[in-house]
Amino acid sequence: MTMQKRKLSDKELDAIGTRVLAASRLTEAEIDRIATTPGSFEGVLRRVRDIDAGAPKAGIIGLLFAHRAIAGTSLAAILCFSAFAISLQQDRSAVVSKTIQTPVAKLGEARPATPQVVYVKGFTSGRADLQLDVPPEAPTVQNSIQKEVRRQQPRVEQARYSPDDGNHFVAVTYMGDGGESARGGRVIRVDVPRSTLFAMGFDVSLENDSPTVKADLLVGPDGVTRAVRLVE
Amino acid sequence: MSSIREAFQPEGILGYAGDEKVISGAVRAVRTDPQLIELVLAGDEYAFEQIFDRHKRIVARTAARYFQRPEQIEEIIQVAFAKAFVELPKFRGEHELSLPSWLCRIAANACLDTLRSQKRKPEDLQCELSTGEAETILDLTASPGQSSEESLISRDLSQKLLAHLPQDDRALLQMLYVEDMSVAEIGDLLGWSVSKVKIRAWRARHSLRKVLKKYV
């Protein structure tokens, strides 16, 4: 027997659906018979006893899970804090150089007639090669700074700027405490007017198209510039 | 008040005299639900049995919307009353029907929990309906006066057809269209908002139409 599929509207389908739903129901008598099954209340009491017996167990399991959650959260917090501290440490030491040289200043002279140029090679290495006219044992400011630097042995990190660009830091005259330079500092890249560089004693031509020149300033912890390096 | 009492009047009760009922000439005090709850909370197990006897039918009726097999309905009755016993200290009844409606909500939630666990480990097999069976359903459900045999056949076939519909959708449609419950009443029973009931009913009706279009 085959049946042709009819085209039924939604209203007709709903009517059929309601009839099918009504037909699938259990009768009241059947529901009553199920509800009055003997031994049903004993089953309830048995389930209550099971719930009562299971409650402390569930509590202990919950406590175990809570401990694990607390331990996991603490571990994650410690890891995050360590990672943050390490990144901070790296940021602070990335541009610090310990090889700061200042020119020899004679007493009674505010500014030397010609600034003494000190070349610092190997900017990133732990020990810089100095090319000075003065003997190494002479009681100069440089020697005292070098000694202090060697005694403190601060951690030296890789500098951001490559030392292979052919230029070197040139120290500018500084009358303050030279030992301060060894305690830290940072390198800042700036655009310096050509006239300023010329006034500082750098050999730059004034007749050029660019009014400024890129330069790295070695700034001490007190904010005073210690040395200058031309980038280009 | 009297209509509510009549609705929940157990068998064998001849009439009410104030707060007392007359059973075959003997007068015995009838305790109200709040009184029975007080006794249960005081540790009276017999009072809980009275609550069980009084409300087991309405809980069974709720379970029968979701399940057809007697053992499933019986299990839901037991689970619902066990949960009610454990949660009874938290119950705050404010009107006469609050205990039955609270029990019905527990039963409905127990049904939904059982359906959820069945989804994780499906046991029921869905059988395809033959064209002849679909024709029989249409014929039998269309005729008003049916013999007991015919009604059994139409129920089996209807259940076979409705097996393609999620059970919670089927129960919702049954409450809405067969039992003529209002959206607000269904919301109260299931703890849903009115809009949620409407949306679920629309989806369920759509699913039922799809099933009927496929087989009828």
pLDDT given for residue A226 in this prediction:
82
Closest CB to B178: pick one of A3, A18, A36. Answer: A18
Band of residue A12 on the pLDDT scale cut at 50, 70, 90: confident
Contact call for A3 and B137, based on CB within 8 A: no
Query: Given an 8 Å threshold on Cβ–Cβ distance, is B74 in contact with A43?
Result: yes
Q: Is there a contact between B157 and A24 (Cβ–Cβ < 8 Å)?
A: no
Whether residues B74 and A34 touch (CB distance < 8 A) is answered with yes
Name the residue with higher pLDDT: B17 or B199: B199
Are the C-beta atoms of residues A182 and A147 closer than 8 Å to each other? no
> Is the pLDDT assigned to residue B178 strictly greater than 90?
no
pLDDT in tens, A202-216: 777 766 667 788 888
Q: Closest to B77 (Cβ–Cβ): which among A33, A35, A51?
A: A35
Contact (Cβ atoms closer than 8 angstroms) between residue B116 and residue B67: no
Whole-prediction pTM:
0.51
Residue B141: list chain A partners with CB under 8 A.
Answer: 16, 19-20, 22-23
> Is A36 in Cβ contact with B155 (below 8 Å)?
no
Highest mean pLDDT pick, A1-5, A119-123, B117-121: B117-121
The predicted pLDDT at position B59 comes to 93
- pLDDT for position A139: 57
Q: Flag if B45 and A51 touch (Cβ within 8 Å).
A: no
**Neighboring chain B residues of A51 at a CB cutoff of 8 Å:** 82-83, 86
Cβ neighbours, 10 Å, residue B97: 15
The chain-wide mean pLDDT, for chain A, equals 69
Q: A60: helix, coil or strand?
A: helix
pLDDT value for A50 = 85
A110-125 per-residue burial string, b: 16 or more CB within 10 A, e: under 16: eeeeeebebebeebee
Q: Which of A222, A152, A146, A144 is nearest to A185 (CA)?
A: A222
For strands A212-219 and A186-193, give the pairing.
Answer: antiparallel
DSSP-based three-state secondary structure for A24: helix
* ipTM of the complex as predicted: 0.71
Q: Which amino acid, one-letter code, is at B11? A: E
Q: Is some CB atom of chain B closer than 8 A to the CB atom of A45?
A: yes
Chain A residues near residue B159 by CB distance under 8 angstroms: 24
pLDDT in tens, A81-122: 999 988 887 765 554 445 555 555 455 555 545 544 445 544
Residue A203 parent element (H or E): none
Model confidence at B119, pLDDT cuts 50, 70, 90, reads confident
Give yes or no for residue A21 having a pLDDT over 70. yes
| Top-confidence residue, A101 or A146 | A146
Nearest by CB to B57, which of A13, A31, A44?
Answer: A31
Predicted confidence band of residue B26 (pLDDT cuts 50, 70, 90): very low
B161 → chain A, closest CA residue: A20
Q: Which segment, A17-26, A116-125, A177-186, is predicted with the most confidence on average?
A: A17-26
Of A20, A22, A37, the CB nearest to B74: A37
SS3 state at A102: coil
Where does residue A178 rank: exposed (0-12), middle (13-18), buried (19+ CB within 10 A)? buried
CB of B45 within 8 Å of a chain A CB? The answer is: yes
Chain A partners within 8 Å of B137 (Cβ): 20, 23
Cα–Cα distance measured from residue B191 to residue B197, given in angstroms and rounded to the nearest whole number: 10
Quick one: pLDDT band at residue B216, thresholds 50, 70, 90? confident
Mean local confidence (pLDDT), B23-34: 62
pLDDT of A67 > 50? The answer is yes
Q: 């939904």: which residue's tokens?
A: B112
Structure tokens at A26: 């259990």
Within 10 Å of residue A214's Cβ, how many Cβ atoms?
A: 13
Nearest C-alpha in B relative to A2: B131
Residue B29: the pLDDT is 62
Q: What is the mean pLDDT of residues A20-49?
A: 86
Angle at B113 between CA B170 and CA A59, to 5 degrees: 170
CB contact under 8 A, A48 and B86: yes
Chain A hits for B86, Cβ within 8 Å: 48, 51-52
For residue A146, give the H/E element and its range: helix A141-152
Mean pLDDT of B144-161: 75
Mean pLDDT of A121-144: 51
Unique residue bearing structure tokens 């031994």: A39
Q: How confident is the model at residue B10 (pLDDT cuts 50, 70, 90)?
A: very low
- Residues constituting chain A: 232
